[in-house]
Structure 1
Amino acid sequence: MRDVLFLPLTDGRELAIAADGSAAVGEKPGDAVYAPAETVAYFAARVALMELLSVGAEASAVILQNFVADDRWEALCRGIERACHELSLRLPVTGSTESNFSTVQSALGVMAVGTVAAERKRIGVTPEGAKFAVIGRPLVGPAVLAHPQWVAPLSLFVELLASPSVYELVPIGSKGIYYEWMQLLAANGRQGRACACPLPLFASGGPATSFLISYDRAAEGALRKQAGRLFFPLFAER
């Protein structure tokens, strides 16, 4: 199922929680990938917020767990605020910093919290006959910074989220396209099937540089135009 936790509140509404973490990516001697703290937080926030919004929830706050250093808190917050800005959100940020001990590798966690009306959850709403596509390329590690032109912009994510022609959106994480495709089918009560796509099906999607969509086949031309070269069709094999 989707990487979002739902907890019942009142009046048919539910608390929705999504999270992402990052380790060994940053500016410390032991990090495997070098990246500014602001950039690392941006991509972690991007994942958590995309997961939250994609299920139909309204975001309310962001929680930051900073295991980098006290003096990186502001930079990390700037990264989160950048992601929020690109998603047209203004959210409070709270959290905690490990200030008792220093680390040789960077690490952080970002949690996005919001609410959703139970009947408006955007899960399992893809009808028979829908088509599928991946928006953006799955990238991980240094490739994320080296190929920004293939990272699906959050502005495009927002546009497709609002499109009546798009049924579901699923951020693609470290388990890859095929895994998310199988999860989407299962959520809609369908048997898992093989699929074909111009992109590698089992490569890590890293910090959700791409996402899967199900959509109305009548709108394919408009969606292709909207996404441009970031549109990669995904076909179910018979």
Structure 2
Amino acid sequence: MQSKQFRDLTFIDINENDKLVISCDSAGAIGNKEKDLIKTSPENLGYLTLHVALSEIFAIGGEPISIINTLSVEMNPTGQGILNGIKKLLNELNLDEDIVVTGSTEENFPTVQTGMGITVIGLLNNKNFKLPYTPRNSVLAVVGIPKVGNEILEDEGEIISIDTIIKLKEKDYIYEILPVGSRGILKEIEELAYSNNSRYSIYENKEIDLKKSAGTSTCLIVSIDNENYEKLQNDIDKPVFKVGYFHDKN
């Protein structure tokens, strides 16, 4: 078997036809325990942490087949609450009967702060898959708004969902979709440019903070031709911002 790292994803060829794609995320000090800094329910925590890892899988075109949760809390009641949040998101995506969910909890010692990790394993068909590529002179647009912490809990429809990614994957005018996390939009643009062997320029834009953490993948970057920017705005019911473009290295 051959493995390859691509941005935050790991690819593993398992036979001539298929490869695994693996994504992960973690969260700490978020929950309803005594020492948690951001107070929310375990259900919300499970739901939102899975959202991050699933966003990466769907954005690359993978089909999730297994979820592994590594919970640094007891099973009851906190762990079970986190699992309920995981199952809620899977149910919303009609995946609850198709995916194996497994993991572990901390049963030896009492915990006063919530911590968890999650790994998603997906499947890709080698015949239909090729690494995404953004050509020179493409426009970089952000869909959604970067939010973190309590801003996510108070959101009124400005952040992206898995459904947003699925709808965007159906648009043939989009070159790449890249979910944004805690590193912020600008860091993800740098990563996008590096993997495409391109340079980028940023438009002056005061509507959106390019360096702010996007928490649980609350926004994403898409690359498109400039003439399709208005189409993108019309096709998606989230805020859209034109933030930059690619050009030659010379």
TM-score in terms of structure 1 length: 0.91
Q: Deviations over 1:162-211 (max 9, x none)?
A: 22121111110111000001111111111254444431111111110111
| 1:71-220 to 2 correspondences below 5 Å | 71=76, 72-90=78-96, 91-118=99-126, 120-121=128-129, 123-197=131-205, 198-220=207-229
Structure ranking higher in helix proportion:
1
Check 1:218–1:49 CA distance in 2 against 1; reply closer, same or farther (3 A cut).
Answer: same
| Amino acid of the structure 2 residue aligned with 1:102 | P
1:54 to 59, 66, 69: 59
Q: Distance in 1 between matches of 2:192 and 2:94?
A: 26
**Structure 2 vs 1, CA of residues 134 and 86 (structure 1 numbering), >3 Å: closer, same or farther?**
farther
Identity of aligned residues (%): 28
1:150 is paired with a residue whose SS is coil
Q: 1:84 to 1:175 in 2, by over 3 A?
A: same
Which amino acid letter does the alignment assign opposite residue 232 of structure 1? F
Q: What are structure 1's unaligned runs of at least 5 residues? A: none
Give distance in 2, aligned partners of 1:207 and 1:164.
Answer: 26
Cα 1:100–1:200 shift into 2, 3 Å:
same
What is the CA-CA distance between 1:85 and the residue it aligns to? 3.5
Equivalents in 1 of 2:122, 2:226: separation in Å? 31
Say if 2:106 is the partner of 1:69: no
CA distance in structure 2 between the aligned counterparts of 1:100 and 1:129, rounded to whole angstroms: 56
Amino acid in the other structure paired with 2:55: M
Aligned-pair Cα RMSD in Å: 2.0
Secondary structure of 1:149's counterpart equals coil
Q: Structure 2 vs 1, CA of residues 122 and 234 (structure 1 numbering), >3 Å: closer, same or farther?
A: farther
Q: Which is further off, 208-217 or 115-124?
A: 115-124
Residue from 8, 29, 32 that aligns with 2:13? 8
Distance 1:237 1:191, change over 3 A: closer
Q: Which residue of 2 aligns with 1:221?
A: 230
* Cα distance in 2 between the residues matched to 1:5 and 1:141: 27
CA contact (8 A) 1:5 1:18 kept: yes
